[in-house]
Structure 1
Amino acid sequence: MRRSRPCHRNDNLFSEARGHWAPAVTRLIQRTTVVFNRRTLRGDHFMTSPLPFRIGLTDDGVYDRVMAVPSARKALENKAGIEIARFPVDIDPIPADVLNRFDAVLTGGVNFTPTSTAGVDRCALIVRFGAGYDRVDLSACTESGIIVATTPAGVRRPMATAALTHILVLSTRFVFKSECANNGRWDEAQSAAQAGLGLTGRTIGFLGFGSIGKDLYSLIKPFDMRHLVFDPYLDEVTGRRYDIEQVDLETLLSASDIVVILCALTEETHHLIGARELEQMKPSAYLVNVARGAIIDQIALAGALAEKQIQGAGLDALDPEPISPDDPLLTLNNVHLTPHALGITDELVRGCSELCVQAALDVMQGNSPESVINRDVLDHLGLREKLERYRNRYGG
């Protein structure tokens, strides 16, 4: 086995320009108590205490998404002692002096590197809007006593549905047959040569069997397929709860009619699927990726698709993102691309927003949130002191 790891105000408080801090922020938080009136805030109502718990929502879409979800917004409104601010994202990676202005950060696709956390002693939480955490340096956060958490429960069903959508689009030849209907090529679409792939009795390979993998399993189980799983981190007890066969990567690739990538992007899984692995797949097989683009060697995949080494691919994750306009994948008719957005539904936005806010409120009360990725940080003395301070200050 070559690799192993497959495995969320007053308007003057913020500047309208992205990434720029309004001077009013500093003036406001120096006051003993600030109450932001509902009428002056376009419906917002936040309060600060003499030492407010400051939550930054990154200005890469997370602020707008979270604040548009009534349940998440209300949870913030109803909690005294909170100050909300847009977190600027115009400098990449995030500078340490910016991160150190916050107790908690709710973030999307922002990079946090060792330089982002060096010397940071205020921030206690970075929570990802989603399940991936490849843009956050876990070791650096742990050293600085910063919890890194995700929101897997919020993406579980939407992303499993996205994977199933790609599977069904590929296996039924949906795009081709839709084009035939639009172009009057009915006979061609109905010919035996253009028949799709029936799923019953076929073999599906799960590359990673975490929460999304388990949910996809439940969605696809009625198709009566054989389920192969490559996930060295899946314990036997959990494995026995499902009708799956745990196999090595080579066996999964060579035996599967559909391979679905569902693992996290780590050093171990970077280019986990390369030219050698693609050669091991059946010529009739399909590859689906709803995880991270860099898990696949995209150049090797383009070559394999062009040479018809595999039947086709459905990709909701690419490397880089957005895809380069001269990427050879864009010239192929046996690959279907979606812009890492197939799973973005109202269900996902609501779930991840609520979970991000809950994680921040948990930390504010001096507790660790769910879905902590760098669990070693929970033993960090500096973090324990922060949590104790929050507990005493905010009555947790």
Structure 2
Amino acid sequence: MIFINKKLFITRKPPKHVLDYLNENFQVDIWDSEDEEIPREKLLEIIHQYDGLLSLLTENIDKEVLDQGSNLKVISNLAVGYNNIHVEEASLRGIMVTNTPGVLTETTADLTFALLLATSRRLIEASNSLREGNWKTWSPMYLTGMDVNGSTLGIIGLGEIGAAVARRAKGFNMNILYNSRTPKPLLEDELGIQYADLYTLLQTSDFVCVLTPFTKQTKNMITLKELKQMKKTAILINTARGGIVNEADLVQALSDGMIWGAGLDVFEQEPIPTDHPLLQFTNVVTLPHIGSASIQTRTKMWELAARNLTDGLQGKKPPNLVNQEAYQSKE
């Protein structure tokens, strides 16, 4: 069945095959850019025209946007997270919200562990030193880092990505602690990991990986109080969301030598300002939110987001519906 009378808007230029797929069934408009955000004023101006929206984390789909989007029926977010969307307000309007979980789990876990290794072994600092001509001779303690093998890893948030990181850590003979809203006994048996309260995890771990979703409860979960609990030789890794770690407190902790270093793929403000203090530390590895950035995975995310949108606009239950109540209200 063709739903060509339905209109949808995509806030960034998708791959050609995804656009062709959507054009088969809908009238499709796009913000024709791969690397520039649609201005908020423009989105507010045009959103009333559309039945469906395929959005990115860069768009703040708040009450104001939803008020203007009087015809919206589905919002398909190109991400596993959806903290950029006011889901409660969408539900009140009967608007289905979807995300793209699962397809990015292993890729994000790869990046998380790569960031852990890069930070612990000072890879960026070492590469820059070589390129700048500072490597004069082999020296026993030159650019020495921290061992990963046999160390203790603390994972905050044992969802799919957290479990995938734990599996990688087992290959490095790491002792693994985790903290989550509820214990995961099946994963404990499978991976040989141990549940710990947050402060025990912070005090015991050589590496602390933040992998919990961003919610009202996890906002500023890691502040100076928590950072003071960590070992002075410990490293903090965050590939979840920037707002979980209080950046001003992290700057202070690094300045005062409370922890040894940090690896960050996410920030409170993205893109992070180039004069931000976190970018001045040589013991902090910073990346531009590339956790899921492999060609294969980003393509799968686009395809899944398109399917979510298509199913929702055709009256079916999307495979990755966040707010079940929105679909039930249509039954």
1:185 correspondence with 2:135: yes
For 1:370 and 1:238, the matched residues in 2 are separated by 25
Amino acid at match of 2:6: F
Question: What is the alpha-carbon distance in structure 2 between the residues aligned to residue 250 and residue 279 of structure 1?
Answer: 10
1-side partners of 2:188 and 2:326: how far apart? 28
Segments of structure 1 that go 5 or more residues without pairing to the other structure are 1-46, 385-396
Please show how residues 249-288 of structure 1 align to structure 2 within 5 Å. Answer: 249-288=198-237
Is residue 295 of structure 1 aligned with residue 244 of structure 2? Answer: yes
Question: Relative to 1, partners in 2 of residues 1:114 and 1:239: Cα closer, same or farther, differing over 3 Å?
Answer: farther
Residue in 2 that maps onto 1:392: none
Aligned residue for 1:371? 320
How is 1:1-396 mapped onto 2 (pairs within 5 angstroms)? Answer: 52-58=5-11, 62=12, 64=13, 66-68=14-16, 70=17, 72-77=18-23, 79=24, 81-86=25-30, 89-91=38-40, 94-95=43-44, 98-108=46-56, 109-118=58-67, 122-182=71-131, 183-185=133-135, 187=137, 190-192=139-141, 194-233=143-182, 235-237=184-186, 239-341=188-290, 343-380=292-329, 383-384=330-331
Check whether the contact 2:223–2:250 (CA below 8 A) recurs between aligned residues.
yes
Alpha-carbon deviation of 1:365?
3.4
Computed over aligned residues only, the root mean square deviation of the Cα atoms, in angstroms, reads: 2.5
Using the size of structure 1 for normalisation, the TM-score is 0.75
Larger mean Cα displacement after TM superposition, 159-168 or 339-348: 339-348
Gaps of 5+ in 2: 32-36
Of 367-376 and 221-230, more deviation after overlay is shown by 367-376
CA–CA distance in 2 between the matches of 1:159 and 1:214?
A: 11
User: 1:117 and 1:241 mapped to 2: Cα distance?
Assistant: 44
Identity of aligned residues (%): 26
d(CA) in 2 for partners of 1:242, 1:201:
15
Deviations 1:313-364 (CA, angstroms, capped at 9, x unpaired): 0111112122233322222211111121354221232111111111112213
Distance 2:80 2:218 in 1: 16
Distance 1:241 1:378, change over 3 A: farther
Name the amino acid aligned to 1:112: I
Instruction: Give the structure-2-normalised TM-score.
Output: 0.89
Report how many residues are paired: 324
Task: Report if aligned partners of 2:157, 2:180 keep a CA contact under 8 Å in 1.
Answer: yes
d(CA) in 1 for partners of 2:130, 2:82: 42
Give the Cα–Cα distance (whole angstroms) in 2 for the partners of residues 377 and 327 of structure 1. Answer: 40
In 2 relative to 1, CA 129–220 (structure 1 residues): closer, same or farther, beyond 3 Å?
same
**Per-residue CA distance 1:223-244 (angstroms, 9 max, x = gap):** 1111111111455445544322
Decide whether the 8 Å contact of 2:202 with 2:208 is kept in 1.
yes
Please tell me whether Structure 1 or Structure 2 has the larger radius of gyration of its CA atoms. 1
